[in-house]
Amino acid sequence: MNITQIRYFITLAKSLNYTKAASQLYVTQPALSRQIQAMEHELNIMLFMRNNRTVKLTPAGHILLKEFEKIYNDYNLAVVKAQNSFQGLSGEINIGILDGAMVGDLFPEALRYFAKYHANVKINLRNYSFNGLIEHLYDNTLDLIITLRFDVKCRERIGYKVIEETRDHVVVHSSHRLAGARHVKLSDFKDDVFIMVDTTDSEESPKLILDAFKKQGVMPIIKVAPSIQTEMLWVQAGVGVCVLDSRNMLRDDPTVKFLDVDEISDPSLTMAWNIDNYNPVKQTFIDVFFNESEYDK
């Protein structure tokens, strides 16, 4: 058995469709069938149950899928590390940053490191709202994203690491009746226009906020914003109030006030990546960013 056969097996096991899997692998369907049959013959195990309409994994196939994914990911990571040590890093890495997040103080050390030791690597930083980050992470347009933990922690095939523990605040215009309060409850805003991002941008963010309101037995007047940027602009204009985390750039804006509130979600600033992304620069950047590179040790 070889690594190509393992890749063929994983692809078919995920799609459970020979035509689709063959297309993803850029091989013919008969060629894929022959490789799967060769694996089954070598292992003396039936991996798939087939009939004219469906393909299903056998119990043995389910076990091998889990273990083979580990082997395949470890193999690719080992190859990347070997290539990096032999020829040095080159290419580019695309990093998406959540709109409104204050991250300017987080990048200088990593950027200086790459400028000194991997000058041939191009680092591209772009801003997106929640949905844009996730879409581009899954299609590998982005190699890394910086977002809030609640929006990635339960997603399939996404790895992540918390950069900084942050917390939620209710954000109001400086002229709001509660602008001088030290601590507030969501129920204090039952008569306010409460702004939150649309579920098409983030399913989790409005859900968490509404759940917190329900626990306090109230429901505000809701105004839906298509993006975080719009949400921020509306609060600045005094259109309504909203929930933002302590890393949001409005924190330094004198036209608004960040008020302490009981926990609503875990908005910790987080770096996330697609486990199936094998950009050789990705892991090196993660290690440098979190001060875990061999150089720092």
* pLDDT per residue as tens, the chain (297 positions): 899 999 999 999 999 999 999 998 989 999 999 999 999 999 999 999 988 788 999 999 999 999 999 999 888 878 776 766 555 567 899 999 999 999 999 999 999 999 988 888 999 999 999 999 999 999 999 999 999 999 999 999 999 999 999 999 999 999 999 999 999 999 999 999 999 999 999 999 999 999 999 999 999 999 999 999 999 999 999 999 999 999 999 999 999 999 999 999 999 999 999 998 989 899 999 999 998 544 443
Element (H, E) at 8: helix 3-15
Residues 6+ apart with CB under 8 A from 227: 99, 129, 197, 201
Which residue is listed with tokens 């009939």? Answer: 51
Which pLDDT does position 294 carry in this prediction? Answer: 45
Please tell me the distance from the alpha carbon of residue 1 to that of residue 199, in angstroms, as a whole number.
Answer: 45
Which pLDDT does position 89 carry in this prediction? Answer: 62
Which pLDDT does position 73 carry in this prediction? Answer: 87
Please tell me the distance from the alpha carbon of residue 220 to that of residue 225, in angstroms, as a whole number.
Answer: 15
Which pLDDT does position 119 carry in this prediction? Answer: 86
**Which residue type does 246 have?**
S
CATH number for the domain formed by residue range(s) 3-85: 1.10.10.10
Say which CATH class 168-261 falls into. alpha beta
Fold of 91-165+269-289: D-Maltodextrin-Binding Protein; domain 2 (3.40.190)
Q: How far, in whole angstroms, is CA 57 from its chain's centroid?
A: 28
Which residues in the chain are classed under CATH 3.40.190.10? Answer: 91-165+269-289, 168-261
Which residues in the chain are classed under CATH 1.10.10.10? Answer: 3-85
> Are the C-beta atoms of residues 195 and 220 closer than 8 Å to each other?
no
| Entry pTM | 0.74
Beta bridge partners of 97: 127, 146
Please tell me the distance from the alpha carbon of residue 126 to that of residue 112, in angstroms, as a whole number.
Answer: 19
> DSSP letters of 18-76?
HHHHHHHHTS-HHHHHHHHHHHHHHHT---EEE-SS-EEE-HHHHHHHHHHHHHHHHHH
Q: How far, in whole angstroms, is CA 277 from its chain's centroid?
A: 12
Which pLDDT does position 296 carry in this prediction? Answer: 43
Which pLDDT does position 198 carry in this prediction? Answer: 96
Report the length, in residues, of the chain.
297
Residues 6+ apart with CB under 8 A from 23: none
